Structure 1
Amino acid sequence: MSEKFHCRMYENELPKVDDVVMVNVRQIADMGAYVKLLEYGDREGMILLSELSRRRIRSVQKLIRVGRNEVVVVLRVDEEKGYIDLSKRRVTPEDIAKCEERFNKSKAVHSILRHVAEKHDIALKELYESIGWPLYKKFGHAYDAFKLAITDSTPVFEGMDISPEIMNELVSNIKRRMTPQPVKIRAQLDLRCTGIDGVNAIKSALTAGEAVSTESVPIKVTYLAAPFYVVTADALDKTTGFEVMELAINAIKDTLESHKWSRFKVEKEAKLVSETDDRDFAALMAQAEKENELVSGDEDEGDGVAASDDDM
């Protein structure tokens, strides 16, 4: 990559002692592992052999591999010589989780700024100096600023000297890459009620489930084939989607079990739906519809196991 479009992610040229950073392993030697600090313009650092693991080292290759990213903590920084000593064994699981989250956010910001720099033939460092680093100061992380800019960019970039061309390119990139992608969550339930009012009991349970819907997470219940029902949630945020789905399933369960002679079972746990899953489900629904049409003239057995679409 051209040096013009190469730059560290943060304003500080070097990390500080005790900082937790993301590195990529370049070479394994007798002294330890040579790495490049991915957030600091690929500056070279070293994980000493004694800092690889708390346990006795039998095989370095099992602990660290060339080409793999690792989370490490900074032990020493010699700014004059540029030496950076690092430790893998002193990193906690919490350190790893926080570092990975920060690095993924920083990487997303870096990718957007680099694209704008390349498109308009501007040095990437210039964009960091005028946009990236000021946003890190103002918002804690430039990624959080970019997220806000999806809906309203004016207050985010207020006071910054950015040309209209750069601003348009930047905002369009942010919206294209960072706008949340909708997800679909689906679960399958086995619902039965053999009481005298079984059909109405199931209808009430399904209505209770759909009533949990929110504006951002609508819940839909589809009749598959007795005694199976499919609950679907559409959401922009995966975590919120699963939370509302759980509330809907619990509402169905509680309502159904308030009736005698009822049975509730989660046939298939709630999970994210892929495009392939969606196509398979559409085919399954088409098949079920066809089979329902064939038996539509049959007498209702009256066992209260399921309610048809017409009943719901």
Structure 2
Amino acid sequence: MRYYENKFPEVDQLVMVQVKQIAEMGAYVKLLEYDNIEGMILLSELSRRRIRSVQKLIRVGRNEVVVVMRVDPDKGYIDLSKRRVSAEEVIKCEEQYEKGKAVDSIIQQVAKKCDVDAERLYESVVWPLGKKYGHAHDAFKLAVTESDTVFESLDMTPEVRSELLSTIARRLTPKPVKVRSDLELTCYSYEGINGIKAALRAGEALSTEQVPIKIRLVAPPLYVMSTTSTDKNAAIELMEQALSKIGEEIEKYDGNINVAMRPKAVSAVEDDALARLMEQAERENAQVSGDEDESEEE
């Protein structure tokens, strides 16, 4: 399927391609965002360095980010370059391509469910939204909360509109991620315990509705700060601020903070490992308390 309204890309445009065949003159590729039409990366445009092995630079079946050098719509020739693409441009193109893939997946599902032509949905929904919002993917995300505004004046039936909205909600609604940071707090002054409590309260006080911060004791002096949010970047940023706040507060009591792990998104495996560590600490604390009682009775 063609992701964009133009049948051919424009000169200097970044596009995602998949390598089909490697020949003497270069590599034949298909443009994934333009209905798999064929293009060619000339051998001289594969790398800025001297080419000793083409196989190390490019492989059949692999996706590559390239830039369009020449387009001949009449003959169907599209010349591409890999060596003229910077690392920053690769990231930009990959993000754009992933957006297009997500939109296409939604459109294909809606077309199949409602028994309509996918290209017709592109013409009546995707391309008009792309012109208005920059990319249909951005419009789809906005439609989750503002469907009346986003879909206003678009040519589609109530059935298609309903199915499109429900599919967008399932596919594009952000999933919550857990962000965690491990820190050690020590304070040996006269008010040490109160200092640690005040510092932890100061960190938790930065919580918001979107990023609720919780701090738990693992085993002195180790604490874990965590939150669950749909906005990973905002969560990490707020937790960094909380660490700074805790550090400022504990210094007032002549205490110290050591950040054992900076805020980051953690997997279920890492979370389970932490839970086991906390359970072990609880068991050890219980054993110590029991031993002390027994020695006192003796």
Letter paired with 1:155: T
Counterpart of 1:153 in structure 2 is: 147
Counterpart of 2:222 in structure 1 is: 228
Structure 1 unpaired stretches of 5+: 1-6, 300-312
1:219-266 Cα distance to aligned partner (Å, 9 max, x none):
111011111111112221111111011001111111112222x22211
Which has more helix, going by share of residues? 2
Counterpart of 2:267 in structure 1 is: 274
Counterpart of 1:307 in structure 2 is: none
**2:186–2:196 contact (8 Å) kept in structure 1:** yes
Counterpart of 2:162 in structure 1 is: 168
1:151-209 Cα distance to aligned partner (Å, 9 max, x none):
12111111112112211111111011100111111111111111111000100110111
What secondary structure, in the 3-state scheme, does the structure 1 residue paired with 2:149 have?
Answer: coil
Counterpart of 1:66 in structure 2 is: 60
Alignment of 1:45-64 (within 5 A): 45-64=39-58
Alpha-carbon distance between aligned partners in 2 of 1:148 and 1:190, rounded to the nearest angstrom? 41
Letter paired with 2:123: E
Alpha-carbon distance between aligned partners in 1 of 2:87 and 2:264, rounded to the nearest angstrom? 26
Alignment of 1:45-124 (within 5 A): 45-124=39-118
Letter paired with 1:77: V
1:264 is aligned to 2:257? yes
Alpha-carbon distance between aligned partners in 2 of 1:213 and 1:292, rounded to the nearest angstrom? 30
Query: Between Structure 1 and Structure 2, how many residues are aligned?
Result: 292
Equivalent of 2:276, from 279, 283, 289?
A: 283
Letter paired with 1:16: E
Alpha-carbon distance between aligned partners in 1 of 2:54 and 2:133, rounded to the nearest angstrom? 40
Alpha-carbon distance between aligned partners in 2 of 1:218 and 1:136, rounded to the nearest angstrom? 35
Structure 2 unpaired stretches of 5+: 294-298
**TM-score normalised by L of structure 2:** 0.94
1:95-130 Cα distance to aligned partner (Å, 9 max, x none):
222211111111111110011112223221011011
Give the deviation of 1:295 after TM superposition: 4.2
What secondary structure, in the 3-state scheme, does the structure 1 residue paired with 2:146 have?
Answer: coil
Equivalent of 2:136, from 139, 142, 159?
A: 142
Letter paired with 2:165: V
Alpha-carbon distance between aligned partners in 1 of 2:39 and 2:265, rounded to the nearest angstrom? 40
Share of identical aligned residues, percent? 58
Counterpart of 1:237 in structure 2 is: 231
**TM-score normalised by L of structure 1:** 0.90
Letter paired with 1:241: A
Q: What is the RMSD of the two structures over their aligned residues, measured on CA atoms?
A: 1.5
Letter paired with 2:231: D
**2:13–2:67 contact (8 Å) kept in structure 1:** yes
Equivalent of 1:15, from 9, 22, 26?
A: 9
Counterpart of 1:38 in structure 2 is: 32
Alpha-carbon distance between aligned partners in 1 of 2:157 and 2:117, rounded to the nearest angstrom? 15
Counterpart of 1:304 in structure 2 is: none
Give the deviation of 1:278 after TM superposition: 2.2
Give the deviation of 1:57 after TM superposition: 0.6
Q: Which runs of 4+ in 1 moved over 6 A?
A: none
Equivalent of 2:213, from 219, 223, 242?
A: 219
